[in-house]
Amino acid sequence: MMTAEEYEESLRQLNLNVYMFGERVENVVDNPIIRPSMNAVAKTYELAHLPEHEDLMTAVSHLTGNRINRFTHIHQDIGDLIKKSKMGRLLGRETGCCFQRCVGMDTLNALSIVTYNTDRKYGTQYYPRFLTYLEYVQEKDLVVDGAMTDPKGHRGLPPHQQPDLDAFLRVVEERQDGIVVRGAKAHQTGAVNSHEIIAMPTLSMRQEDADYAVCFALPSDAEGITYIMGRQSCDTRKLEGGSLDQGNIRFGGHEALVVFDNVFVPWDRVFMCREHDFAGQLVEIFAAYHRQSYACKVGVGDVLIGAAQTAAEYNGVEKASHVRDKIVEMNHLNETLYCGCIACASEGHREPSGTYCVNILLANVHKHNVTRFPFELSRLAQDIAGGLMVTLPSEKDLRSPETAQWMEKYFRANPDVSTEDRMRILRLIENLTLGTAAVGYLTESMHGAGSPQAQRIMISRRVNVAEKQRAAKRLCGVDT
């Protein structure tokens, strides 16, 4: 397994085509805006080498028998599913942000199921091809960017009827040695911190949309791939010098638009090509895995609760009954989210390929709660923190000889706490609920792994209402 230092060095070997603020980024690793997100991924490598975290962070490969990073592992039993949730909470608490490897892990597991099922129906060779690729990822300990979300264009039209046919990623040419694809994937978390990209369909496909039913893997620096970095609130604070105003001074996340401009994919890296009837299955299984992965928000919630409690103490109001009650409510909401991710793992099942999958109904219920509870957690944290969280002058004003005395005099609350420490904890709450980390904690909670309506649709499909009706009728004597 790679160390954090080896991971960083491996990124330096890539030749990525990255743009940000209209300019080419020549050095992605050391760019001050991107660097915190790389640090978060590096944490997944660092913890894997610590004996106290070995059980959660590593596993034994079912292919080679070698010990591997859990982010490259295929779930072999219920225990693996549970450890995945616990690992997500651990890393969320350690980084206070998105650590970017869950999508790749969930993609690998979904493909281990769907490629097997596709081969059984069509006699294709996707599954052995996938296993060869999987062994490569495991042995090299690579970060995989799972790329599902297309720009989608006109939301009321299917892919083949779009005014711009590239609104969904598609096969534009089939050759003897592979395929050529064109299109883009949006909202790609951690894309430029990845060694590999696996592109998947974003929705169920009909026969007319067969060209869009494509799944493949490529090195992240393959010819024809361009990354355009997304903006985040307060992102340029990282360029100002100092650290206080950043809130989270160590870690962060990033998203990018990934453009595939007539990119060639060799056949040995193609895992679906026009098998449109399996596109929906891949989307559904990947989404279930990824909705379980929002255990990470529980870990970030731990950080937010800790920050809110600290802010109350720094403000001198920690003993107020309403503040204590709000902290209890925050813990209640956060632990309820934890119940959901553990439940869908505990109720998992074995698929024909041997991979264990989560309970899809409970995974969707869990993620649906995630679209709500972090927002209430954030509201309560902001309530406890007070308005100074968003009206604080800058760190430079705290350091300036002309203004420092007034900052020290008027922004100190608890005499046992320095003004700087109070400012730091308030900036962290701002970062988590309004700033760059809010992308990973709030917006991602709402839209990541599908927006709320996607979960409601799956809940309606998976829940057995007829059985509930039979139970009710039986108890009251209605003839069934």
Active site residues: 98, 102, 189, 255, 290, 294, 296, 444
Rounded Cα distance between 382 and 378, Å, is 6
Record the tokens describing residue 196, joined without a space: 């590999």
The runs of H, that is alpha helices, within 187-278 are none
> What is the Cα 68 distance to its own chain's centre?
21
- How many angstroms separate the Cα of 313 from the Cα of each of 215, 307, 328, 425? 52, 10, 15, 11
Which one-letter amino acid corresponds to residue 122? Y
Grouping H, G, I as helix, E, B as strand and the rest as coil, residue 382 is helix
Task: Encode 233-253: b = buried (16+ Cβ within 10 Å), e = exposed.
Answer: ebbebbeeeeebbbbbbebbb
Rounded Cα distance between 189 and 439, Å, is 10
End-to-end Cα distance, the chain: 59
Tell me the pairing of strands 18-20 and 23-24. antiparallel
Left if phi > 0, otherwise alpha if psi is -120 to 50, otherwise beta: which for 274? left
Rounded Cα distance between 470 and 91, Å, is 44
Count CB-CB contacts under 10 A for residue 77.
11
User: Where are any strands of DSSP class E within 334-376?
Assistant: 349-350, 356-357
Count CB-CB contacts under 10 A for residue 477.
7
Tell me the pairing of strands 18-20 and 225-229. parallel
